[in-house]
Amino acid sequence: MSTIFNVDFIGTVAGLLTTVAFFPQVIKIWQSKCADDISYEMFVIFSIGVALWGVYGWEIHALPVIVTNLVTLFLAVLIITLKFVFRKKNS
Amino acid sequence: MSTIFNVDFIGTVAGLLTTVAFFPQVIKIWQSKCADDISYEMFVIFSIGVALWGVYGWEIHALPVIVTNLVTLFLAVLIITLKFVFRKKNS
């Protein structure tokens, strides 16, 4: 029982970190108004993957999987959008 | 049975996409020799999260979870390393 708790705890912390990680990237782009070094391909592929993780969470009825992946998807799409917006402004 | 297959398939594709996504970012940095717009904080926090996902996979004996997260961890640490290397060269 205590092992299960530990495993779930590790999974929860892991999920929170891989979601929270995208906030500093959003803030950095917002402050510098530049995202030229960010790869569109990375964030587009990653967004599709995260959306599928959300579908996976929906199918297995795992609310934490759905919520963390929805937040990550929002942040990844926001990064793509900011890169596009600031590229247009700079050119 | 067919639903389980579909769910596992969605999870597998999701896992592959969120891992493969990091390759174009590595290639972009390698080609441009610049990663100034990349957030150290994002990739450090993300790496810790991915490492914990690997531990989680180890604990639940899920080889695909271990392997995909080890590859993602390698790519994320590589991006951090390249950012550091090219920052030193440019300054």
Domain that holds residue B71: 2-90
The mean pLDDT of B17-31, rounded to a whole number, is 97
Chain A positions contacting chain B at CB under 8 Å are 3, 6-7, 10-11, 13-25, 27-29, 32, 34-39, 41-43, 45-46, 48-50, 52-53, 55-56, 59-60
Over residues B32-89, the pLDDT tens digits come to 999 999 999 999 999 999 999 999 999 999 998 899 999 999 999 999 999 999 986 5
User: How far apart, in whole angstroms, are the C-alpha atoms of residue A74 and residue B17?
Assistant: 17
User: How far apart, in whole angstroms, are the C-alpha atoms of residue B7 and residue A6?
Assistant: 25
pLDDT at A26 exceeding the cut of 90: yes
Backbone angles phi, psi at A34, to 5 degrees: -150, 135
The alpha carbon of residue B44 is apart from the nearest alpha carbon of chain A, in Å, by 8
Complex confidence, ipTM: 0.89
User: How far apart, in whole angstroms, are the C-alpha atoms of residue A41 and residue B73?
Assistant: 18
Check which CATH number belongs to the domain holding A26 and give it: 1.20.1280.290
Over residues A52-71, the pLDDT tens digits come to 999 999 999 999 889 999 99
The alpha carbon of residue A14 is apart from the nearest alpha carbon of chain B, in Å, by 4
Looking at the 3D structure of chain B, how many domains does it have? 1
Over residues A39-55, the pLDDT tens digits come to 999 999 999 999 999 99
